[in-house]
Amino acid sequence: MNFETFNFHPSIMAGVRALGYTIPTPIQLQAIPPITQGRDIIGLAQTGTGKTAAFALPILQHLRQNPRGCIRALIISPTRELAEQTCEVISKLGSKTGLQSVAIYGGVSMEQQNRGLRSGAEIIVACPGRLLDHLWKGTISLSELEILVIDEADRMFDMGFLPDIRNIMGCILHKHQPLLFSATLPAGIRRLVRETLHDPVTVQIGRTLPAKTVSHALYPVQQHLKTTLLKEILNGTKTDSVLVFTRTKHRAERVAQQLVRAGYRVTSLQGNLSQNQRQAALTGFRKGSIKILVATDIAARGIDVLSISHVINYDMPESTDDYIHRIGRTGRVDKNGEALTFVTNADAGKIRALEQLLDAPLERLTLQGFDYNRPAPDKELRFSQRPRRRVVRRQEIGKQTAMK
């Protein structure tokens, strides 16, 4: 089956071709027809399945029939990176339709966004906080909204955005078509679905399992040897772009610094960066001038780089959902990817949960020639070997000055 089956307008098909899509992905096949018919949708699809085009194409098809120069479609995104990326996909798919889209997120001037809004954009892709700022200031009105997409709903729930989403929903008082996309369906999201969607069609791409194009392996290792192991794996493996995940932003920064010192083209993406620094890091990674990106879960939301060949979990993710999200960055659509996870003894419970989800034991690998028994640097010893500084007491300082 190809894209001709959907009967999209030639201006939209031009965008599909420009992006090189020839065969619809399963979520596109399942979701596009009911969305086009105006049905409410729950799309259960993990990232990397082509879900953006699954909602973007019917939105473009619907809006182009009757352009009006006001906001008619809203996509709510958890992060600015995902908002930017979704907006970019919509702009490319819709480049010949004359429809415009604007990304709305915090950390940049509102005035700049106001200019974009005044230019007659009919589609906005927005993060919840900044969207509410605009709604309260009256610079955005949703009174003409026709289609609402809540994207990566489970992630927004994890990030504590549910009250904001409810406030946004409170600003849309008339009938519209809601579409909700989520990799998983936790209780909080099921409640939101009941409150917001009417007789929805559920489209589900498998269970929330990692894509089949990704192979998984565990590397048992002691905590203090992780960076050395990482460097040796990078040295001995043929990789394209590599995404390394750490549990904390400090660790992301430290690991990136250690890799820079080892001569790799690497950067870190963590919450401490300004918007410009984040953008520069992402652009470098996307264009391939930076080969390794070290990131935390939150910072990596929405990274869409087709050439990611390896996801390396420097730290085991907190939950199986996080694991799926992380490795959803590789093996995208029909490319192969590898997910390597460093595990310590403390991760036994999380490994069991992951193996249950995958319904198979995970392969444990050891790197040949790697010294797994190297002891941790002994802080006590290093301290005792340092030349001791004599502690000079206040009275002595007085004495020494007096003696001079």
Q: In whole angstroms, how close is the CB of 27 to ligand AMP at the nearest point?
A: 8
Shortest Å distance, C-beta 74 to ligand AMP: 18
Check binding of 392 to ligand AMP (CB under 6 A).
no
The residue type found at 191 is R
Q: Which of 34, 43, 48, 210 binds ligand AMP (CB under 6 A)?
A: 48
Task: Determine if 50 is a binding residue for ligand AMP (CB under 6 A).
Answer: yes
Between 97 and 113, whose beta carbon lies closer to ligand AMP? 97
**314-373 residues near ligand AMP, rule: CB under 6 A:** 332-333
Which of 15, 42, 51, 64: binder of ligand AMP (CB under 6 A)? 51
Site size toward ligand AMP (CB under 6 A) is 17
Interface with ligand AMP includes 47 (CB under 6 A)?
yes
Decide whether 212 or 390 has the Cβ nearer to ligand AMP: 212
- Using the minimum distance from each CB to ligand AMP, give the nearer residue, 217 or 333: 333
Contact status: 74 vs ligand AMP (CB under 6 A): no
3-state secondary structure the chain: CCHHHHCCCHHHHHHHHHCCCCCCCHHHHHHHHHHHCCCCEEEECCCCCCHHHHHHHHHHHHHHCCCCCCCCEEEECCCHHHHHHHHHHHHHHCCCCCCCEEEECCCCCHHHHHHHHHCCCCEEEECHHHHHHHHHHCCCCCCCCCEEEECCHHHHHHCCCHHHHHHHHHCCCCCCEEEEEECCCCHHHHHHHHHHCCCCEEEECCCCCCCCCEEEEEEECCHHHHHHHHHHHHHHCCCCEEEEECCCHHHHHHHHHHHHHCCCCEEEECCCCCHHHHHHHHHHHHHCCCCEEEECCCCCCCCCCCCEEEEEECCCCCCHHHHHHHHCCCCCCCCCEEEEEEECHHHHHHHHHHHHHHCCCCEECCCCCCCCCCCCCCHHHHHHHCCCCCCCCHHHHHHHHHHC
The interface region with ligand AMP, picked from 21-29, 156-164, 307-315, 389-397 by CB under 6 A, is 21-29
Interaction between residue 182 and ligand AMP (CB under 6 A): no
Nearer to ligand AMP, 200 or 331 (CB): 331
- Shortest Cβ 121–ligand AMP spacing (Å): 21
Closest distance of CB 187 from ligand AMP, Å: 25
Query: Measured between alpha carbons, how far is 149 from 80 in angstroms, rounded to an integer?
Result: 16
CB 147 to ligand AMP: min, Å = 17
97 binds ligand AMP (CB under 6 A): no
CB 152 to ligand AMP: min, Å: 10
Minimal distance in Å, beta carbon 16 to ligand AMP? Answer: 8
Task: Choose the stretch contacting ligand AMP; rule: CB under 6 A; options: 48-56, 98-106, 204-212, 378-386.
Answer: 48-56
Positions in the binding site for ligand AMP (CB under 6 A)? 19, 21, 23-25, 28, 47-53, 304, 306, 332-333
